[in-house]
Amino acid sequence: MADLHELTVVDAARRIRAGETRPSDLLAACLKRIEASEPTVAAWVELDADGARQVAAQRDREAAAGRFLGPLHGIPVAIKDIFDVAGLPTRCGAAAFAHRRPTTDATSVARLRAAGAVILGKVVTTTFAYRDPGPTRNPWNPAHTPGGSSSGSAAAVAARMAPLALGTQTVGSVLRPAAYCGVVGFKPTHGRISTAGVAPLCWSTDHVGIFARQVEDVALTLGLLAGPDRADALSAAVPVDDYVAGLAGAAPPRLAVPRALLARATPEVAGHLDAVAQALAKAGAHVVDVTLPASFDGLHAAGDTLVQAEASAYHREMFARHAADYHPGLRELVETGARVAAVDYVAAQAARRRAREDLGALLTGCDALLYPVAPATAPEGLAWTGDAWYCAPASFAGLPSIALPSGVGAGRLPLAVQLVGGPFAEARLFATAAWCERVIGFRDAPGA
């Protein structure tokens, strides 16, 4: 049992189905790991150990009888604390005025349970998934940020506390912490996964995302979470592919590097991106430089306007009653958003749609864009969660994107690359990412 916490989702699921591992033993290994690592990492806000043990024992009995609820039977999962989990408090990283105890699961949590997952509890989020950081530290170096807003999700997976976690990304809150913590982070096309039961930041750009330690784990999980939901008017009625099926035989991909973007990165990150691109090309990938469409230039400003306006709309009533309890970053966002004119909001939506169409057209000629996740490795200190500039375009355009750990830089902090695919082309993106993952061969872990 000593090494069970090191298992990936797919490997653990295979062992459970083969009768080689009991769900309760896998959970016990994760809980032991949490006991050892949590004092340093501080990823958890509500660890439901007793509830998880009860569910794992039930999964033991089902497995012994040859009954498996689904592909995640017995797999422990950590949930970002803006998702509703029935019976557990939702705190949103905020003061007591925002706390509530839901009686039903968020749609994504319910779908995990239906697939046999064991919900371990809630992990730290920044306040209402914005910039004000929580207490979580980077497992690679606790003096550095794990990123945000899905801080606890990324740190828990990186520290081997859980093999799988859910988070959200509105700007850069899945890919950036995944990159800083050396794990795989993925967000799908906007609307691919229901956000029902998840506290919103900006409806137009909120995405449910997935953290794991390999691409296959993320592909498997998306297949369980994707699909329309009557409880979410923005969820898309687009067919769900078998995302795992195309991974093994993936051909060398066509990758496009928007080289002008590298000027924003540190020499370490820009040089690493070039080295990864060269290694992929040497292995057979077709790597070319591309120029991004003119509409890309206005995408950041348009997205910022949407986040400001929609966050202010959501928080309007709570803020009127509890402004003094709001953290500085969120307070500034709400106040700024209240001044956004309707004509500017409409113009921002139009600019976002135009950029999405133009980027989608560009991506018809390649399998993915390849560029950095963040301009540098995880910043030192816990007062800032890092720069989300490189993550924002895929979020604001609603395109699927994935962060792949790809090396270790100065100070033994992880490096990563980002792949961005076309709208609802997750199957193609996963095949590309899995091929790149095999070539890159990242195997490092915190403390290794």
The CA distance from 3 to 16, in Å, is: 15
401, 418 Cβ separation under 8 angstroms: yes
Residues 6+ positions from 348 with CB-CB distance below 8 Å: 301, 302, 303, 305, 306, 309
41, 155 Cβ separation under 8 angstroms: yes
Q: Which of 24, 80, 235, 312 is catalytic?
A: 80
The CA distance from 360 to 270, in Å, is: 25
> Is 149 noted as a catalytic residue in this protein?
yes
∠ CA 434-440-443, rounded to 5°: 95
Alpha helices in 65-138 (DSSP H): 107-114
Q: Which of 24, 37, 150, 173 is catalytic?
A: 173
Q: Which of 24, 149, 295, 395 is catalytic?
A: 149
- Exposed e or buried b per residue across 194-231, where buried means at least 16 C-beta atoms within 10 angstroms of its C-beta: bbbbbbbbbbbbbbbbbbbbbbbbbbbbbbbbbbebee
Find tokens 């864009």 and name the residue: 369
> Is 173 noted as a catalytic residue in this protein?
yes
Find tokens 């990758």 and name the residue: 255
For 421, the token pair is: 């695919």
∠ CA 171-368-80, rounded to 5°: 35
Residue 380, beta-bridge partner list: 144
What phi and psi values does residue 16 have, to the nearest 5 degrees?
-65, -45
Residues with active-site annotation: 80, 149, 173
